[in-house]
């Protein structure tokens, strides 16, 4: 709201009207801001902060720096070629003694175990034994306590611990890891999984989006042109699905699609099939159930845009000699594009974060990124990995949104 | 992902709120797996404990989400005092979020507890077994090798979607002596060997993820045999009249433990409860209700022969059985699980 700067000379209290107007304006803005403030705070606390924290956790891990202060300092002069010298081993023994006393050896072991399987229990037992060492030389003693202290890669790992930031989680999320000299190498093929998972998540999301568009567009069209009484009734049917929880709707698919479920039994009774078709616990079941759940999210924006398109446009095109298809394609369809873009974007982004449906009706080959985020968060307590996977998914989503915006122009999208 | 982040924040926020006020001083919050299992624990442990000591027991349920305990411990608002948990103990112990058990304070002899762990007192063990439906398969499998024998037993078999148990069984079926399993599995060649053996039946595996699924898969005829927890099969036989058979050969025992989240204000009462629930008599009472092996070895002598015949710890069943090695899995789960997941989804 721009204030017009008009000076009216000789106002009664000597304050120019322009200033007065500005004051009123400022007060109104402040009041509006005060009303929005709770929401802003809410969004900031529950949304921006956790996401920021997550992005940070994906690269920040100071476990080794905090819990092994002496070793990490002593390692700063290690050249990384042979095993470190006695001084470093003495520092290690000191740190492990302290870790044993403060019961933090488990944390150190857990952290090291992420990168080198099998070290967790060795660190713990080393800490227990180190606490009985009273004097040096420590090098031979520590290697005798556990052979891991004679391994070069263990020391490389500890040296990387000197920084409170690590790329380990992000690297592993794209199937890379640190080699024995801290060089970045590809994960062994039998362990490489995350690139597949990201591509699969993307593929399923695109597939579901396309399916909802194919099914939703004609339906939205029918709803838009039917007389209100019929279309309202049909609309109720679509909105009904919002009254049922996603979990229930997904489980219903299990009942319908399983080997001895409704569909297979019917087809077998009718002798169309001789043995049950595999409809569930695979990609087909996943895409089908997700399409069912996402359909209204694609349909509603398209419908609301279609409602606002005047039927006169097509009528005019027809009267000017266009055939029915030409009139639809050249006059009607372009006007629905903002609705299609909005619906597809909504569905696609929601699909990227899908979790329950693939877990229930999908097979092991249909696990999506969120599934792994949940496992790492709840079961394996590896929050670094969960954060890294989440951060990558978020970045990919924002990137896609950016590209989409360049292509379609989200500003053009209007919900009706 | 956003929902997850929100969930974690919500957890932290709710943990920050002073919920503790709601708990009176003489109350102990014990958390277990819910369902029939916890109802029976109530009868065998919680009620008698309250009657004997006057300490009231509040019950809660979980499904092994270690993150809940971590959130509590790290925000210093521990409202769970004793937790019945299984596999997660290795990771939680390593992360230092549960107490190391002081056996002297418990007043129990650790030698009496077979699957003991430094951070938990064994309470009961379920056996991972192979089960089949006698109505559909008159001459069923006898050994673990039969699980991998597609000629003798064609058809789908149900397995738990986890590297644990499956890798052990694959090696045993491939000829590794049951007591050498973890030695072999600790080498890269051993892991390759286990996956190679699993490869032979990969196409015919139906993966299950919850304990209720195997009896269902068997009842529906989706599989000819399935791995399962013995209690679930016992329950299907007893309460649903199914004719399921258990193959006790090479049963792998997974122990459940009483654990104490670090920082509970009722540490002494928690110890009191664990000591009470680990007495042979209390454990024998529980074994009568749920056919799992009691943690205290002395309890076996107190159960009647009929009950004993259903327990994983019956002498006949123990001949060729193995405790799942939690120390091994604590070190290697992360890596093996990643490889297993990659293998399963390819």
From the list B346, B334, B335, the residue with the least C-alpha distance to A196 is: B346
- List beta partners, residue B227: B130
Residues B37 and B86 in one domain: yes
Instruction: Quote the minimal CA–CA distance from B327 to chain A in Å.
Output: 7
Q: Is the pLDDT of residue B15 over 80?
A: no
pLDDT value, residue B19 = 45
CB of A353 less than 8 A from some CB of B: yes
Average pLDDT, chain B: 89
Asked whether the beta carbons of residue B96 and residue A49 sit closer than 8 angstroms, the reply is: no
Count of H helices and E strands in chain B? 17, 10
The token pair at A106 is 């488990």
d(CA A320, CA A334): 18
pLDDT value, residue A231 = 92
Assess contact for A114 and A384: CB atoms under 8 A. yes
CB of B4 less than 8 A from some CB of A: yes
Residue of chain A whose Cα is closest to the Cα of B329: A118
The CATH number given to whatever domain includes residue B100 is: 3.40.190.10
User: Of residues B198 and A244, which shows the higher confidence score?
Assistant: B198
Assess contact for A213 and A298: CB atoms under 8 A. yes
CB of B309 less than 8 A from some CB of A: no
pLDDT value, residue A235 = 92
Residues 133-162 of B with CB under 8 A from A: 161
pLDDT value, residue B289 = 93
Q: Is the pLDDT of residue B87 over 90?
A: no
Residues B159 and B117 in one domain: no
Instruction: Quote the minimal CA–CA distance from A226 to chain B in Å.
Output: 38
Residue pairs between chains A and B whose CB atoms are closer than 8 Å: 121
Q: How many domains does chain B have?
A: 2
CB of B203 less than 8 A from some CB of A: no
Residues B215 and B326 in one domain: yes
d(CA B274, CA A169): 39
The token pair at A181 is 């000299």
> Pick from B9, B206, B341: which is nearest to A193 by CB?
B341
Q: Is the pLDDT of residue A4 over 60?
A: no
Mutation choice for A interface testing from B1, B209, B329 by most A CBs within 10 A? B1
Handedness of CA B79, B82, B88, B93 (dihedral sign): positive
Assess contact for A350 and A294: CB atoms under 8 A. yes
Residues B66 and B147 in one domain: no
Q: Which residues of chain B lie closer than 8 angstroms to A258, CB-CB?
A: 220
The phi and psi torsions of A35 (rounded to 5 degrees) equal: -70, -35
Q: Which residues of chain A lie closer than 8 angstroms to B346, CB-CB?
A: 196, 365
The CA-atom distances, in angstroms, between B137 and each of A382, B199, B205, B242, B253 are 43, 24, 18, 13, 26
Assess: ipTM above 0.85.
no
Q: Is the pLDDT of residue A204 over 50?
A: yes
Mutation choice for B interface testing from A370, A381, A386, A396 by most B CBs within 10 A? A381
CB of A380 less than 8 A from some CB of B: yes
CB of B1 less than 8 A from some CB of A: yes
Q: Which residues of chain B lie closer than 8 angstroms to A54, CB-CB?
A: 5
pLDDT one-digit tens code per residue, B131-180: 999 998 989 999 999 999 999 999 999 999 999 999 999 999 999 999 99
Domain hosting residue B69, numbered range: 2-124+256-313
The token pair at B23 is 């708990």
**pLDDT tier at A12, thresholds 50, 70, 90:** low
Residues B114 and B261 in one domain: yes
Residues B52 and B10 in one domain: yes
**pLDDT tier at B22, thresholds 50, 70, 90:** very low
DSSP H helical segments within chain B, as ranges? 2-16, 35-41, 47-53, 66-74, 89-95, 103-106, 144-147, 163-173, 181-185, 188-199, 213-219, 230-240, 267-277, 280-289, 305-308, 315-318, 326-344
Handedness of CA B81, B86, B88, B89 (dihedral sign): positive
Asked whether the beta carbons of residue A196 and residue B345 sit closer than 8 angstroms, the reply is: yes
The token pair at A53 is 């924290």
pLDDT value, residue B276 = 96
Residues B102 and B154 in one domain: no
Q: Which residues of chain A lie closer than 8 angstroms to B16, CB-CB?
A: none
d(CA A25, CA B180): 82
Residues B188 and B327 in one domain: yes
Residues B49 and B111 in one domain: yes
Residues B77 and B158 in one domain: no
Residues B19 and B67 in one domain: yes
Q: Which residues of chain A lie closer than 8 angstroms to B327, CB-CB?
A: 121
d(CA A307, CA B169): 62
CB of B24 less than 8 A from some CB of A: no
Residues B131 and B25 in one domain: no
pLDDT one-digit tens code per residue, B251-278: 999 999 999 999 999 999 999 999 999 9
Residue of chain B whose Cα is closest to the Cα of A194: B342
Asked whether the beta carbons of residue A107 and residue B96 sit closer than 8 angstroms, the reply is: yes
**Strands B82-85 and B121-133, bridge-based pairing:** unpaired
């Amino acid at each position: 709201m721009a204030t017009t700067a008009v000076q009216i000379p000789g106002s009664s209290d000597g304050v120019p009207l322009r200033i007065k107007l500005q004051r009123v304006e400022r007060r109104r803005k402040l009041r509006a801001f005060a009303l929005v403030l709770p929401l802003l705070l809410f969004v900031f606390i529950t949304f921006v902060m956790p996401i920021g924290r997550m992005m940070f956790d994906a690269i920040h891990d100071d476990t080794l720096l905090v819990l092994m202060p002496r070793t990490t300092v002593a390692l700063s002069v290690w050249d990384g070629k042979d095993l470190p010298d006695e001084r470093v081993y003495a520092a290690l023994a000191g740190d492990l003694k302290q870790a044993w006393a403060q019961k933090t050896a488990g944390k150190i072991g857990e952290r090291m175990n992420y990168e080198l399987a099998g070290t967790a229990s060795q660190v713990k037992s080393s800490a227990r034994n180190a606490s009985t060492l009273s004097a040096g030389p420590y090098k031979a003693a520590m290697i005798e306590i556990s052979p891991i202290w004679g391994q070069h890669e263990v020391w490389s790992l500890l040296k990387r611990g000197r920084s409170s930031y690590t790329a380990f989680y992000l690297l592993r999320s794209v199937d890379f890891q640190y080699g024995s000299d801290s060089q970045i190498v590809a994960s062994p093929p039998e362990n490489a999984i995350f690139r597949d998972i990201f591509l699969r998540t993307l593929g399923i999301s695109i597939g579901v989006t396309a399916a909802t568009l194919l099914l939703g567009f004609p339906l939205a069209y029918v709803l838009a042109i039917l007389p209100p009484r019929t279309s309202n009734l049909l609309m109720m049917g679509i909105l009904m699905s919002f009254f049922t929880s996603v979990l229930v709707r997904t489980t219903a698919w299990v009942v319908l699609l399983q080997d001895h479920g409704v569909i297979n039994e019917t087809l077998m009774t009718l002798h169309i099939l001789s043995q049950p078709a595999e409809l569930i616990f695979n990609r087909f079941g996943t895409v089908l159930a997700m399409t069912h759940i996402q359909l209204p999210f694609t349909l509603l924006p398209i419908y609301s845009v279609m409602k606002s398109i005047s039927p006169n446009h097509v009528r005019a095109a027809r009267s000017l000699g266009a055939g029915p298809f030409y009139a639809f394609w050249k006059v009607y369809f372009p006007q629905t594009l903002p609705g299609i873009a909005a619906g597809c974007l909504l569905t696609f982004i929601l699909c990227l974060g899908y979790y329950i449906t693939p877990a229930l009706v999908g097979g092991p080959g249909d696990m999506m990124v969120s599934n792994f985020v949940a496992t790492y968060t709840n079961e394996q307590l590896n929050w670094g990995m969960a954060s890294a996977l989440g951060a990558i998914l978020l970045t990919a989503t924002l990137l896609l949104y950016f590209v989409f915006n360049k292509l379609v122009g989200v500003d053009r999208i209007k919900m009706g | 992902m956003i929902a997850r982040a929100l969930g974690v924040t919500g957890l932290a926020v709710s943990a920050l709120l002073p919920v503790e006020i709601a708990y009176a001083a003489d109350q102990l919050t014990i958390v277990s797996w819910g369902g029939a299992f916890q109802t029976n624990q109530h009868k065998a442990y919680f009620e008698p404990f309250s009657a004997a000591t006057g300490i009231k027991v509040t019950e809660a349920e979980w499904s092994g989400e270690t993150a809940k305990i971590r959130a509590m411990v790290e925000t210093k608002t521990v409202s769970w005092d004793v937790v019945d948990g299984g596999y997660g103990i290795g990771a939680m112990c390593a992360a230092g979020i549960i107490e190391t058990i002081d056996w002297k304070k418990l007043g129990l002899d650790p030698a009496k507890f077979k699957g003991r762990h430094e951070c938990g007192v064994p309470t009961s063990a379920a056996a991972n077994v192979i089960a089949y439906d006698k109505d559909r398969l008159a001459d069923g499998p006898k050994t673990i090798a039969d699980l991998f024998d597609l000629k003798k037993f064609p058809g789908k078999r149900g397995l738990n979607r986890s590297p644990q148990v499956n890798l052990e069984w694959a090696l045993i079926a491939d000829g590794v002596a049951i007591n050498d399993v973890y030695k072999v599995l600790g080498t890269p060649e051993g892991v390759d060997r286990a996956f190679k053996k699993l490869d032979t039946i990969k196409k015919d595996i139906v993966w299950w993820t919850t304990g209720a699924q195997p009896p269902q898969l068997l009842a529906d005829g989706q599989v000819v045999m399935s791995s399962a927890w013995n209690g679930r099969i016992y329950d299907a036989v007893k309460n649903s009249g199914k004719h399921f058979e258990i193959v006790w050969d090479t049963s792998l025992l997974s122990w459940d433990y009483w654990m104490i989240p670090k920082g509970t204000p009722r540490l002494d009462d928690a110890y009191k409860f664990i000591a009470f629930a680990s007495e042979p008599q209390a454990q024998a009472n529980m074994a009568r209700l749920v056919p799992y092996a009691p943690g205290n070895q002395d309890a076996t002598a107190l159960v009647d022969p009929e009950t004993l015949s259903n327990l994983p710890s019956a002498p006949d069943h123990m001949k060729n059985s193995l405790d799942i090695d939690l120390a091994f899995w604590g070190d290697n789960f992360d890596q093996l699980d990643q490889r297993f997941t990659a293998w399963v989804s390819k």
